[in-house]
């Protein structure tokens, strides 16, 4: 049997920049189709295999792509993140839920039989426990991004129960990476701090120094994604979305860890509207169900993350400070 072809939407985005090269290595470059909407993809994603422009909210456009390449698996990463979502809640709902509905319906009509869709720690709101937030707890998000993720998780679960569709999902923490930068996220400060330290020597952080949320180095996020998709279907007890956890640190702690390694780096904290979003999310989540069901465990601690991020960001911007 020829390998199943895989479509990755959100191809110009933060997660795809790391996931697409990994999938191309695993399954052959010609079998991974990355698809983005308007924004410029990284060179590696655009030139390393098939790349297409598509509006993931358009059933017709997505169907054309899925049939053209005889797609069997979709990683549906296209999304509007939390900060941008609060500036434009209507857009966040339409893109996040509209495109997910397109992907799920398309899967029922075509040869697609497995779908990955990212959820987020943003499904939790102020009513959920803040520390070690359990897999199952009250979900009352106070952001449109979180609202769309809760609705999307329920939709995934529904398509699994009603139609037997093999949909799998992770509640990503803030993802820290260096290949392509997210736009409009609340956890972005944990990436911006590295870029600012290397390029400017100063960072003004948009949340307070004692703000804490669950975070993860991107390689661990990609490992979780690939491992979840490879797990035996009968091992999976969760078809909404799995909690996964790696690190929790405050904005002050990450800035201090960077400053230990970058001489003369200075920083301050000037919270903007994203402070309220960050305050509504947990400090840490309990991922014991993911560990039990499919053997999840992360590799990067804070020290390893700071080392690899500084090395890569310095290389990227040609700096040696």
Residue 203 annotated to the active site: no
Closest CA to 247 of 306, 197, 202: 306
* Minimal distance, residue 64 CB to ligand SER, in Å: 30
DSSP assignment letter at 95 = I
For ligand SER, which residue of 9, 31, 82, 225 counts as binding (CB under 6 A)?
82
> Which residue, 54 or 81, is less far from ligand SER as judged by CB?
81
Neighbouring C-beta atoms of residue 295, cutoff 10 Å: 10
* Distance from C-alpha of 258 to C-alpha of 256, rounded to nearest angstrom: 5
Q: Which phi and psi (to 5°) does residue 212 adopt? A: -125, 140
DSSP assignment letter at 12 = T
* Minimal distance, residue 225 CB to ligand SER, in Å: 14
> Which residue, 107 or 128, is less far from ligand SER as judged by CB?
128
Catalytic residue among 69, 75, 145, 217: 145
Q: Which phi and psi (to 5°) does residue 104 adopt? A: -65, -45
Beta-carbon-side half-sphere exposure of residue 203 (alpha carbons within 13 Å): 26
Query: What would the two tokens of residue 36 be?
Result: 């983005």
> Which residue, 99 or 186, is less far from ligand SER as judged by CB?
186
Binders of ligand SER among residues 142 to 201 (CB under 6 A) are 145, 172, 174, 185-187
Size of the site for ligand SER (CB under 6 A): 10
* Minimal distance, residue 195 CB to ligand SER, in Å: 16
* Minimal distance, residue 306 CB to ligand SER, in Å: 19
Q: 164: Cβ–Cβ under 8 A, 6 or more apart, which residues?
A: none
- Rg of the chain in Å (alpha carbons): 19
Are the C-beta atoms of residues 256 and 197 closer than 8 Å to each other? no
Residue-level length of the chain? 321
For ligand SER, which residue of 6, 54, 56, 81 counts as binding (CB under 6 A)?
81
Contact pattern for ligand SER over residues 27 through 66, marking x by CB under 6 A: ----------------------------------------
Q: 149: Cβ–Cβ under 8 A, 6 or more apart, which residues?
A: 96, 119, 120, 122, 123, 141, 171, 241
> Which residue, 125 or 174, is less far from ligand SER as judged by CB?
174
* Minimal distance, residue 186 CB to ligand SER, in Å: 4
Binders of ligand SER among residues 110 to 129 (CB under 6 A) are 120, 122
> Which residue, 56 or 262, is less far from ligand SER as judged by CB?
56
Which positions are catalytic? 145
List contacts with ligand SER (CB under 6 A).
81-82, 120, 122, 145, 172, 174, 185-187
């Amino acid at each position: 049997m020829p390998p199943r072809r895989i479509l990755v939407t959100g191809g110009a985005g933060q997660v795809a920049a790391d996931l697409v090269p990994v999938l191309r290595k695993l399954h052959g470059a010609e079998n991974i189709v990355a698809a983005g909407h308007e924004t410029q993809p990284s060179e590696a994603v655009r030139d390393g295999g098939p790349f297409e422009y598509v509006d993931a909210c358009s059933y017709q456009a997505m169907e054309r792509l899925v049939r053209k390449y005889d797609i069997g698996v979709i990683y549906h990463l296209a999304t509007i993140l939390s900060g941008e979502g609060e500036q434009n809640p209507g857009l966040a709902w339409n893109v996040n839920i509209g495109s997910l509905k397109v992907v799920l319906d398309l899967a029922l009509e075509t040869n697609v039989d497995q779908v990955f869709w990212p959820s987020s720690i943003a499904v939790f709101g102020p009513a959920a426990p803040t520390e070690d937030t359990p897999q199952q707890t009250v979900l009352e998000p106070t952001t449109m991004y979180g609202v769309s993720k809760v609705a999307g998780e329920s939709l995934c679960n529904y398509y699994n129960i009603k139609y037997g569709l093999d949909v799998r999902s992770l509640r990503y923490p803030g993802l820290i990476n260096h290949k392509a930068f997210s736009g409009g996220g609340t956890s972005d400060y944990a990436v911006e701090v590295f870029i600012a330290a290397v390029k400017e020597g100063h960072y003004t952080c948009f949340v307070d120094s004692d703000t804490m949320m669950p975070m993860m180095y991107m390689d661990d996020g990609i490992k979780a994604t690939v491992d979840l998709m490879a797990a035996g279907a009968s091992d999976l007890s969760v078809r909404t979305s799995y909690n996964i956890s790696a690190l929790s640190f405050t904005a002050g702690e990450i800035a201090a860890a960077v400053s230990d390694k970058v001489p003369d780096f200075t920083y301050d904290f000037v919270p903007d509207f994203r402070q309220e979003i960050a305050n509504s999310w947990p400090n840490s989540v309990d991922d014991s169900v993911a560990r039990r069901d499919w053997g999840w465990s992360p590799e990067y601690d804070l020290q390893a993350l700071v080392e690899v991020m500084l090395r890569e960001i310095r290389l990227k911007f040609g700096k040696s400070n």
